[in-house]
Structure 1
Amino acid sequence: MADYGLTMEELDAAECFDPPPPPPPAPVCYRNAEGLTWDGQGEMPSWLKRAINAGQCVEFYRVG
């Protein structure tokens, strides 16, 4: 800080100490009739597993 002539007040005014904003939510890739969703990341949710085990195609639930 001394090399650049900065003060704590200047850094605080520049919001250098604020936490970063949270990441945006992942877009919804799958949705069922009840409104339950899954972004396609991580483990497949139980509602989608049950549907696939019952013979439904996963693409049936794809959004867009």
Structure 2
Amino acid sequence: MKGRIVDGEARDRLIIWIRRRMEEFGITIQALADSIQHDLDHPPLYRDARGNEWNGLGDHPHWLRAAQNAGVDPEFFRVEQPPARESANVRVDGTRRDPRQLDLFDRL
């Protein structure tokens, strides 16, 4: 495998790169954890085709204002919320499924 990076080595290189960027920009592990938790607590409510997101906090972002000014209803960009965790383990026929035996083709 000369000249190819195996998965473990690629992972190690990525971790080193991330640590260097964090140090370069003064990002601490705690700041990263806080940011991740904030994102989990405030999931995006709106998303456009380019991946821009807005969680409804603060002013409307430029991309959403531009779409509104062009006559597009903001509801067009609303993100569908995932089902509640409890109902995620119930199939359409009412039977329960074991989440440990998830089949990628198994429909709820």
Shorter-chain TM band: 0.5 to 0.7
Taking only the aligned residue pairs, the percentage that are identical comes to 42
Instruction: Tell me how far 1:62 sits from its aligned partner.
Output: 0.2
> Gapped runs of 5+ residues in structure 1?
1-18
TM-score (norm 2): 0.39
**Superposition RMSD in Å:** 1.5
Q: 2:69 is matched with which residue? A: 53
> Gapped runs of 5+ residues in structure 2?
1-29, 81-108
Between 1 and 2, higher relative CO (CA 8 Å, sep ≥ 6) is seen in 1
Q: Which runs of 4+ in 1 moved over 2 A?
A: none
Aligned residues: 45
Comparing both structures, which one devotes a greater share of its residues to helix? 2
Task: Answer with 1 or 2: which has the greater Rg.
Answer: 1
Equivalent residues in 2 for 1:1-64, closer than 5 Å: 22=34, 24=37, 25=39, 26-64=42-80
